[in-house]
Structures are given as structure tokens and as C-alpha cells.
Amino acid sequence: MSATLGTLLHQLQPEWKIVAFERLSDVAQESSNPWNNAGTGHAALCELNYMPQGDGPLDPAKAVSINEQFQQSRQFWSSLVDKGVLDAPSTFINATPHMTFVRGEKDVAYLKARYEVLKKQPLFAGIEYSEDSRVINKWAPLLMQQRRKGEPFAATRVPAGTDVDFGALTHQLFDHLTSSGVSLRTNHEVRSLKKQKDGTWLVKYRHSLGRTPNEVKARFVFVGAGGWALKLLQRSGIPEIKGYGVFPIGGQFLKTSDPKIVAQHQAKVYSQASVGAPPMSVPHLDTRVVGGEASLMFGPFATFSPKFLKQGSMLDIVSQVRPHNLVPMLQVAVKNPDLITYLVGELMKNHAKKVDSLRTFMPTAKDEDWTLIDAGQRAQVMKKDPKKGGVLQFGTEVVSASDGSIAGLLGASPGASTAVPIMLSLLKKCFPNEFPNWESELRDLIPTFGEQLNTDAALAEESTAATAATLGINR
């Protein structure tokens, strides 16, 4: 998020001075690290939680909205490749079909209904559906080997899916920024944010190694600190952060780099979440390409830590408590017993039990072929809702001061995949005077900026074809 915002601002106002602070020794070591996330270019092609099953007709609005947002990210990356800002596309994005696989009559009926709705949407052109084991076996052989006969199952497939290494993308963006005069101060931890009488912010920080204190003034501050964004926004004292809290959920993935196994699965395959599980815990078997090497990951399996970041503090979950957010957080705890039950169940799973879960996707999975890796921490938003009281929110949210002088990002999925539209919204809100003058340049960076692709089939086809050609991925 910070790399995206910095790049947008530098493209729009290259004369502005930008300073970025990173408390670790390098950027992209938390949730943007490729092994701390599944790398799915979230476009709602396979994620069922963006189009949940309800009592009425299936509504594609949210799925379409997520896809629209991802197309903006694709266009931005394509422009940066053309400008030489980013390296060869294969270093950060690779064509990887997105699939959904379900079992049981109820879920098969739901998936078919979802397909019938989505195939009419221009941004989902090319989606395929099958209940034929021979077809699904061609798409993803590991799903069908030793599958029980007579078991109802179905799958959808979109060849235009992607696998994204957000760590590599972040590094490349910052490499360009620093080569263009932007200051990146690693091993520097921001300690306080204080509004000055002249409207600027006094940012106090210290070197993480020698703990040498220092400070800088800024007329605009963006807090892209992952789970720690809440803590820094609380320290800023802005009233807009009142009522907010975060609930940390960690994760693990099973991983294999065995070439014989990896060669049989070239897709990201999502399914239904377990009862009580948060949307971010939807099980999926994914192809991952990091540093040119392909691996498979399955998960996530939830873990719990009071830390808001992998490199956080054991006191994080306690230190966030304020009089204004205590009641909403307690209400969230009372309202979500299924989540607590789910977390306890996940924590009790050993390696063998986790491979058992994998076997629902891949019946031939062997314990010894897979190892557990720790994923990143996700700080899910808890906030006060005027009508519902305390609510647990699965998604991302920008919190900004009324004068637009400071903003921060809270939450997780779809996160990095929609970083570009999220940051565009932030620019419009926090720079209302400058934004109208930026629109022409933004259209150069994002050709369909301000337009809706899904309402214009010809424009959707033209845009996706253009970015696919530049990025070397499927249409």
C-alpha cells in the first residue's frame, strides 16, 4: 500500500519530497512478503465469499466491484512496465488459472447458479463450469486422483487468473522511488504523530538499532503499517479512529516444492469456508511462483498470537484498548462464538490433521511431502456500528482525518490486489484541491480511470487484452 501510494504521488507530483519509514531492515517483510500471503490476484474469479449464498437470487455486485478494482491495478502495473518503473512482468506476476471446487449436492447447485450469473458479466467472460471428472482432471489432476465414485462435485475455471508476488512488486516500486530521490529509512520506527498549530504533523521516530531519536515535519502522513496502523493512528489523536480495534489472526500454510507434485497442479483452487471460519480462511490449493520457482501451498490454517505483526509485541492486543473501543470489542467477542470455536479447533490440529484437510482437495497427499510455514498476521477490523454495536469487519478500510492531513489503512483481504483503487480513493479524499489537476495524468496511468468496464463489454475486452499483452498473462 505504501509503495503504491508513494509511486502514484511521485508520478503525479515528482517535485514533492517523500520520506518512507520502515521499522524492519527491509520492506515487504510482513504481509507483503510472498510467503506470508497466497499471492492471489483477487479478482473474485474463484473466491466464493465475494458472492455468498443467501435466501434470494445471487447478487454479483461485490464480485464485479472487486474485479473492477483489480483491473485498475493491472492497468497501473502495465503502465509502470511500459515506463520502465517495473522489471519484466514475470518477476512479479504470472498467469495462473483461478478455479473453484466444491463437493456435495448443495454446494454443486450453488456453484452452478453462481456460474450462470457470472458468465453474463463482461469481466467474467471465459469462465468455465464442469461436473465432469475428465474435464476437471485436465484442469487440475491433483483434485481428481483417487476421488470416490458417485461423489457430487463441480468446478469453475477462469484461465485469466494470476499469481502475484507482492513482495517483488513492493521491492521494485521502492527501488524506483529511491533511485528517483525518495528517502527510504529502514530500521527506523515511528514512535509518535502530533498535529502542529500550522497544520503539519510532527513525526517522531528512532533508529531501531541504536535507538537514536529524531523527528521530521510533514504536511501529509500515510500510515501503511499493517497491523500497527491502528496503534499509530491512536497515537495521532484523530477522533476518526475512536471506536476502532483489531483482532489478530495468524495463519500457516502447507507447502511443497516437489517437482513431481508441482507439475500436476497449475491453478489456484478455492472452496467453501468451514462453518464459523472467517472469509480469509477459505481453504485453497495454490500455485505460487517466487523468484522464478514454482511451489504449491495449501491453507490457511488459523493460528493465534496477540501480536498485530509477526515482528510485533505480545502486548499489542492489550495496548490497543481504549475507553471508546472496549465495549465494541467485547460485543464482537459475544457475537462471534463460532469464530472462537473455529480458532480453538484450528489450534488443536497437528501436522497429520492438517494434511487430512488437504486430502479433501488432493486425496493422494502424503504427510511427508508437505511442510508447514508460518504466514503473516492479519489484523481484522473491529469497530462501532451505530445500529449493530460492535462488529467484526473482514475487508480493508481507510481511516482519515477530516482535514485529509493523515490517513491509514486497516484490515486485510482483498488488500494488496486492490491497492491501486484504494489509494486512488485516498488521493481524492485527502488531496481535494490537487486531484482535479491529476485526472489527466491518472488516465495516462490507468486508461479506464473513471469508467466502469463491466457495463461496456467492448471496453472490458479491449482493456483486459491490452494489460494481458503487456503483462504476459492470459486474457
Residues 347 and 344: their CA atoms lie apart, in Å, by 5
H or E element: which one contains 234? helix 229-236
Three-state DSSP class for residue 157: strand
Which residues lie across from 154 on neighbouring strands? 102
pTM of the entire structure? 0.94
| 162-176 pLDDT per residue, tens | 999 999 999 999 999
As a three-state string, the secondary structure of 2-61 is HHHHHHHHHHHCCCCCCEEEECCCCCCCCCCCHHHCCCECCCCCCCHHHCCCCCCCCCCH
With 70 as the cut, is the pLDDT of residue 85 above it? yes
Which residues lie across from 269 on neighbouring strands? 99, 285
The whole-number pLDDT of residue 394 equals: 79
Closest CA to 270 of 151, 112, 392, 100: 100
Closest CA to 50 of 41, 63, 61: 63
- Residue predicted with more confidence, 413 or 446: 446
Other Cβ atoms closer than 10 A to 197: 5
Do 123 and 50 contact (CB within 8 A), yes or no?
Answer: no
Residue 56 binned pLDDT confidence (cut-offs 50, 70, 90): confident
As a three-state string, the secondary structure of 65-98 is HHHHHHHHHHHHHHHHHHHCCCCCHHHCEEECCE
Kindly state the DSSP code that residue 365 receives in the 8-state scheme.
Answer: -
Contact residues for 395 (Cβ-Cβ < 8 A; gap 6+): 381, 411, 412, 413, 414
Q: Cell numbers 469481466 label which residue?
A: 123
C-alpha cell at 39: 499471492
Residues 236 and 369: their CA atoms lie apart, in Å, by 48
With 90 as the cut, is the pLDDT of residue 414 above it? no
Residue 474 binned pLDDT confidence (cut-offs 50, 70, 90): confident
The whole-number pLDDT of residue 63 equals: 96
Please give the mean pLDDT across all residues of the chain: 93
Query: What is the DSSP annotation of 298-317?
Result: EEEEEE--S-SSTTS-TTHH
| 188-239 pLDDT per residue, tens | 999 999 999 999 999 999 998 889 999 999 999 999 998 899 999 999 999 9
The whole-number pLDDT of residue 455 equals: 97
Residues 312 and 229: their CA atoms lie apart, in Å, by 12
C-alpha cell at 138: 485436465
H or E element: which one contains 391? strand 389-393
